[in-house]
Chain A
Amino acid sequence: MKKDHYILGIETSCDETAASIVKNGTEIISSIVSSQIQQQKKFGGVVPEIASRLHVEQITLVIQEALNEAKLVPSDLVAVTVTEGPGLVGALLIGINAAKAFAFANQLPLIGVHHIAGHVYANQLIHEMEFPLLALIVSGGHTELVVMKSHGSFELIGETRDDAAGEAYDKVARVLGLPYPGGPQVDQLALMSDEGIDFPRAWLEKDSYDFSFSGLKSAVINYKHNMEQKGGKINHAHVAAGFQQSVVEVLTVKTVKAAREYDVKQVIAAGGVAANQGLRKSLTAALEKEGIPFYVPPISLCTDNAAMIAAAGYEMWKSGVRNDSSMNGRPGMPLKSWN
């Protein structure tokens, strides 16, 4: 009988303290996420120092809960995996140092995982990845199109030149006076309206898979100012819907084009904005028309979690990737292939 391999994942790159046990890289045995949203809300965003302080309070509790829920002890594990970057450096360091101490105490190998590789591998927890595949990564810090020809191989074909999609969502939410975190609220509001204000789309150069969202964000702000100057009222649902239509159309069209050009077997979406209902619907419809399978993880696996870190970490572990205890937090870590 084949032996099962259990991996511990730890994630503290932003405002969630998370730990998870994943079996054989594909099956979640436990996934604990302690979110700081309630504590950070009153500051209107994530305050890095407060994020770090809260991670220290939660870290051992969260790891213990992950083990308890899985009914496993440390000696059942084959490796400890942790988000090495990118993210808030002070926050990353809590997960990293807890991972190091845990690995040393239990004599386990330590593996540092790229946060975005984690988001991509969240898909491995719902459906086996088939190559070549195209991954659309959309979150508060990222908007990227990545082609994978095999496990651990990442080719960046397009990325945002200014704001990340999620960042634009949060900024527009602020313009509309929606409370933090605003992205999901813009999505909700947009779904309430069939009509949208006509905002511009940034297609950039003809062959480019890059994105740009800062112009759109400015267009929303200008629209609001113009209306206010004229003494008119703005319809928040129409603004949200128009903004969302612009973002979703650009993301969908470029994703479909890339999927065709690279002749991929599947398209996957990853990251916090992959939880967006408008985007999920649009990508599903467009890729169905193309006959290309499209997978997007459930919302709990789109937002930050540690199961995705363990899932990516499992593939790294299989490939022999190891870190030593001098691992540092890498806030600007680039996405590099390990295979």
Chain B
Amino acid sequence: MIWLGIDTANSPLSVAIVKDDVLLIEESSMMKINHSLRAMPAVEEACRKADITPSEIDAIAVSEGPGSYTGVRIGVTIAKTLAWTLDKPLYGVSSLKALAFNGQLFNGLICSVIDARRSNVYAGVYRAKGTDLVSVLEDQHCPVAQLLEKLKECKEAVLFVGEDVKLYESIIREHLGKQAYIAPFALNVPRASSAILLAQSANQPEIVHTFTPQYKRITEAEANLMKKGSSYE
């Protein structure tokens, strides 16, 4: 069983191939390079290095967001096109869940954070359960202060994971004090192999044609229209 994993939901890029539960190859890069330049070449390169032809891929896992709108769309478009034309199952995995998986061995809550600008974040709170993660606080787009208040009420140790955590380190410490743990840099890289592993515990593959990113936010144009009280449905 050969799995292809893709994560382009934020500025990092990760592509992995897993064969019979062995990670054959994984390329992760934190550099801010346009995903359109790098994503598909990285998939091709991984297949070539692992000596796998496209038709040998049995299943595809993709990070479905939230994150950068354009970034997540590139990964999702590549994944759904491959899954459709190769007629293979497609699994969408939360980008926050895949990132939180880096803290799987932490004894407490794992909070993955992606910056959404203007003191807002995309965040998910998870707890490890075997090789899966269970959701404690649903993935959401919210002001960082609101997230931290909710975590404070949990009265549990929290590990913060993600490259963007450093933007909010002081406010995290301020709110949570010793309750907060900040992941070291090696655990901030989203890994496509995590997306594959989490996809393996999913029950149902996605319906490929209608599969879309989890933006967790409506567009500004829609928000403005709603404010005006127009008939937005």
Enumerate chain A interface residues (CB-CB to B < 8 A).
42-43, 47, 49-50, 52-53, 56-57, 59-61, 63-64, 74, 90, 93-94, 96-98, 100-102, 104-107, 324-329
CB distance from B63 to the nearest CB of A (A): 14
18 contacts between A and B (CB under 8 A): A43-B221, A49-B219, A49-B221, A52-B73, A56-B80, A59-B77, A60-B84, A60-B209, A90-B73, A93-B74, A94-B77, A96-B36, A98-B77, A98-B78, A100-B40, A102-B81, A102-B85, A326-B40
Q: Which residue of B lies closest to A64 (CB)?
A: B84
Say which residue of A50, A56, A63, A104 sits within 8 Å of B43 (CB atoms).
A104
Say which residue of A56, A107, A325 sits within 8 Å of B77 (CB atoms).
A56
Q: Which residues of A contact B39 (CB under 8 A)?
A: 97
With A and B bound together, what is the CA distance between A105 and B74 in angstroms? 16
Tell whether A101 pairs with B70 under 8 Å between CB atoms, given A64-B209, A325-B41. no
- Whether the Cβ atoms of A61 and B85 lie closer than 8 Å is no
Q: Which residues of A contact B219 (CB under 8 A)?
A: 47, 49-50, 53
Q: Which residues of B contact A57 (CB under 8 A)?
A: 210, 212
Say which residue of B38, B81, B210, B212 sits within 8 Å of A101 (CB atoms).
B81
Tell me which residues from 105 to 153 in chain B have a Cβ below 8 Å from any Cβ of chain A: none
With A and B bound together, what is the CA distance between A94 and B77 in angstroms? 6
CB-based A-B contact count at 8 angstroms: 106
Tell whether A97 pairs with B208 under 8 Å between CB atoms, given A56-B213, A104-B44. no
| 18 extra A-B contacts, CB within 8 A, seeds A61-B209, A98-B78 | A43-B225, A47-B221, A49-B220, A52-B70, A52-B73, A56-B213, A60-B85, A63-B84, A90-B70, A93-B73, A93-B77, A97-B39, A98-B81, A100-B78, A101-B43, A101-B82, A105-B81, A326-B40
Q: Which residues of A contact B79 (CB under 8 A)?
A: 101
Tell whether A105 pairs with B69 under 8 Å between CB atoms, given A47-B221, A53-B219, A325-B41. no
B86 within 8 A of A: yes
Say which residue of A42, A94, A328 sits within 8 Å of B34 (CB atoms).
A328
User: In the complex, which range does the number of interface residues on chain B fall in?
Assistant: 35 or more
Tell whether A328 pairs with B225 under 8 Å between CB atoms, given A47-B219, A74-B85, A105-B54. no
Q: Which residues of A contact B38 (CB under 8 A)?
A: 326
With A and B bound together, what is the CA distance between A53 and B39 in angstroms? 19
B156 within 8 A of A: no
Enumerate chain B interface residues (CB-CB to A < 8 A).
34, 36-41, 43-44, 54-55, 69-70, 73-74, 76-82, 84-86, 208-210, 212-213, 215, 219-222, 225, 230-232
Q: Which residues of A contact B209 (CB under 8 A)?
A: 60-61, 64
- Whether the Cβ atoms of B37 and A97 lie closer than 8 Å is no
- Whether the Cβ atoms of B70 and A97 lie closer than 8 Å is no
Q: Which residues of B contact A104 (CB under 8 A)?
A: 40, 43-44, 54, 82
- Whether the Cβ atoms of B74 and A97 lie closer than 8 Å is yes
With A and B bound together, what is the CA distance between A319 and B40 in angstroms? 25
- 3 closest Cβ pairs, A-B complex: A101-B81, A325-B40, A47-B221
Tell whether A105 pairs with B86 under 8 Å between CB atoms, given A90-B69, A90-B70. yes
- Whether the Cβ atoms of A52 and B74 lie closer than 8 Å is no
- Whether the Cβ atoms of A53 and B212 lie closer than 8 Å is yes
Q: Which residues of B contact A105 (CB under 8 A)?
A: 54-55, 81-82, 85-86
